[in-house]
Every structure is written in structure tokens, then in C-alpha cells.
Chain A
Amino acid sequence: MFWLYSQHRANEALHLSNIRQASQNWLDQRKITDLKAATVQINALYLRLGDPIVATQNLEQLPSLDHSGARKNGPEPVVIQDFVKSGFAAVSGARRRHESSVVFELASNQLEFHRVVPLLAQEENSNVFLFIDHIELLRPKTTEPFSEHPTALQSRLRVRMFTSAAQ
């Protein structure tokens, strides 16, 4: 009887072990199915997230997000280059202590509201790590309210971009 009881307990333990293994297999299989289904999307999103930060991607060794947002072909991040091309003046700002980021102060007196907003949208879409910590859009005092003439705003921005490694 004791032997039978031991056999029964061993069987029950094996049964539980099988149930656990089957559940784990099911979860793993589902995860793999989901991963397979989302591979294209994950790769595209990863590329999109990594693109503003690194210039090339090596699939065997994943791109390290350890660059300051600048491509190899320029001293400043592409976003900042775009702002400069659009009429902004850019200077490096003070980075927060122990933070993996680069900070830039931007200013322009040449752009109207309907040009500033699309530019910001374009840059925010192109670099998902672009944070605008401060933005100030001022209508010049020389321009009357409700003026129908194009009005270049006094634009001041402080932008910050995430980089993975502390510099």
C-alpha cells in the first residue's frame, strides 16, 4: 500500500509538472506567434526610434543608443540642423547633471505661426526623443492685434534630446 501511495504521489507530481510545462509551452508559443506577427512592426518602430540617434544599424549587434543624437555627417543633431536651416539660431544649452541628454537653445524672429507649428511637428515626428521644455512665441510689439499682415513671431525654444549613455 505504501508503495502504491508513493507511486500515486509521484504520478500526481508528474501530472502537475506536465500541466505547468504545458501552460509554459502555451505561453511561449503564444509569445512567439505574437512576436512573429509583429516582427515587421517591431523592426520598423525600432528603426524609427533608433534612426534619429544612430546612423547605421547592425543587426547582429544592436545599435547602441549612445550617441548624442548627431549623425556622423554633422556636429549637431539632425533636428537642430533642420531648425537652423529653417531660420532658427541654435546654441548648446546647459545639460542637467547626470542626465543622458543634449540641450539646445533656439531662437528666431523670422517665422510666422503657421510656419513654426509645422516645423515643430516635423521635428517632433522625426525624433521621438525630442522634448521641448520651454517654448515662447511672442507677437512683436510693433504689430497691432488683429493685423492681417504676416507676422514673424519672436520664438524662443529650449529643447532636450535623450541619449542612452551619460556623457
Chain B
Amino acid sequence: MKPHLVSKEVLARQLYRYSPAYRLAAFLLFGFLFLQVPAVVWLIYERQADQDRRTRAGQLATEAARIASDRKALADTEKKLKRIQGLAPVLRARLPISAVLGKIEQLAPRDLALSQIVIDAGEFQPVQIETGLFQVPHQISIVIAGQETAQGGDAYKHLAGKLLESLPPGSKIADTSLAEGQPFKTFRLALNAPTDGNYFGLGVTKILTQNSL
């Protein structure tokens, strides 16, 4: 091919097209354009996500307003519930003495005759309830004295053991003693029981069970 057949413009264009500088510039340009694709995708995604999340926020705000409205209607019940919960420390510390006495009556064997039952509340601690203070007991002491027949054996110990099983966990026998005598032996039992709200062993049911209302 003779060079004079190719015009200067064609030569210049070919030189321009195949030169490394041109290729580098083209590469950079296409690279830059290619890099814009994820950015555009990201932009579209973020705009869509923003729209969705704003819509969701609006729905949640509407839902919150509805819930607040519902809750307002239950404000009275909620206030009552809070006051009931505020009384819980007092109620929990109240060991029903009638249940203890009933259990003693139920467990006492026929070989024993009780002559004395003394129950004392102790270890008082003040509890703040609403605007006032109330001293709640954290322990009760039970003293049982009486007579046992000569054939009774360890009936008083049996009573102590059975009563201990019925009292709240953490209860303990403080003292057991037996004095010989005629015709009856005299015994004395002393037990301590915590007032922790677990009175099921005594046959006490929860205050809010349906039957107790």
C-alpha cells in the first residue's frame, strides 16, 4: 500500500485510535462509567428503601396512636393493677395463721393432747406502701406444748416433722423437748417459719385464683 493513498486525516485517526494514551483514556472513561452502575443501583435501592421505611414509620406511628388510645381506655384498670402490685410485699408477708392452726389440728396424732399453741410474728421490716409505712414480719415462731400418752412414743416428733413439711421452705425446728411424767409426758415443740409467700403446703391458694374471688 502506498502511503500517498491514505489521507493525513485517516492516518491521524488511526494513530489516535491505536495509541496507548487513547486506549488508557478510553479505559479510564469506561471504567469510570462502569463504576457508576453500582452507585446508580445503590442510589435506586436507597431511595426505594427510604420510601418503604418512611411508609412503615407512618404505619407504626398510626398503630402507636391507636394503641395509646386503647390504653387510655384501660387507664383505670392499669392504675388498679399498679396499686395491687404495690401491695404485693404486704400480702406476701402475711402467713395465714388460721391455715397454720388448721394444719396443726389436722396433723396432731391421737396420742397427743395440745395444751398450748403460741404463734408470734417476728423480724419485722418496714415496707413503703403508697404514702405509708407498714412493718411486715419475715418470720413466725410456733410453740406447741402438750401432753403425750405413755404409749405415744415419738408422736410429738412425728407432729414436728409433718408440720415442718407443710410449712414454707426454709422452716426449721428450733426445739423439741419431752419431760417424763405420770400419767402423761409433757412435750414442747418450737418451729420457725419464713413468711415468703409460699404457703401451698398449708393448703393456702393464691389470692387471685378464681375460687377465692
Measuring CB to CB, which residues of chain A are less than 8 angstroms from any residue of chain B? Answer: 1, 4, 7-8, 10-11, 14-15, 17-18, 21-22, 24-25, 28-29, 31-32, 35-36, 38-39, 41-46, 48-49, 59, 62, 65-66, 96, 98-101, 113-114, 116-118, 120-121, 124-125, 128-139, 145-146, 162-166
Contacts and interface: CB of A to CB of B under 8 A. Distances in A.
Contacts of A24: 64
A131 to B, nearest CB: 6
B135 interface: yes
Contacts of B57: 14, 17-18, 21
A41 B134 contact: no
B77 A43 contact: yes
Contacts of B76: 59, 62
Nearest to B94: A131
Given A4-B39, A42-B84, A146 B147 contact: yes
Interface of B: 39, 42-43, 46-47, 49-50, 53-54, 56-57, 60-61, 63-64, 67-68, 70-71, 74, 76-81, 83-84, 87, 90-91, 94, 96-99, 101-102, 105, 113-121, 126, 129-137, 146-147, 149, 184, 207-208, 210, 212-213
B134 A99 contact: yes
Nearest to A157: B97
A8 B46 contact: yes
Contacts of A7: 43, 46-47, 50
B74 A164 contact: no
Contact of A145 (B129, B146, B208): B146
A14 B205 CA distance: 49
Contacts of A117: 98, 101-102, 105
Main secondary structure of the interface of A (DSSP, over half): helix
A100 B129 contact: yes
Nearest to A144: B113
A41 B53 contact: no
Contacts of B74: 32, 35-36, 39
A164 B129 contact: yes
Contacts of A59: 76
Q: Which of B39, B134, B136 has the most CB of A within 10 A?
A: B134
Contacts of A101: 134-135
Contact of B60 (A11, A21, A43, A139): A21
B198 to A, nearest CB: 17
Nearest to A22: B60
A117 to B, nearest CB: 5
Contacts of A162: 90, 129, 134
Given A24-B64, A121-B98, A132 B46 contact: no
B120 A120 contact: no
Given A22-B60, A62-B76, A138-B115, A133 B71 contact: no
B115 A133 contact: no
Contacts of A28: 64, 67-68, 71
B208 A41 contact: yes
Contacts of B130: 65, 164-165
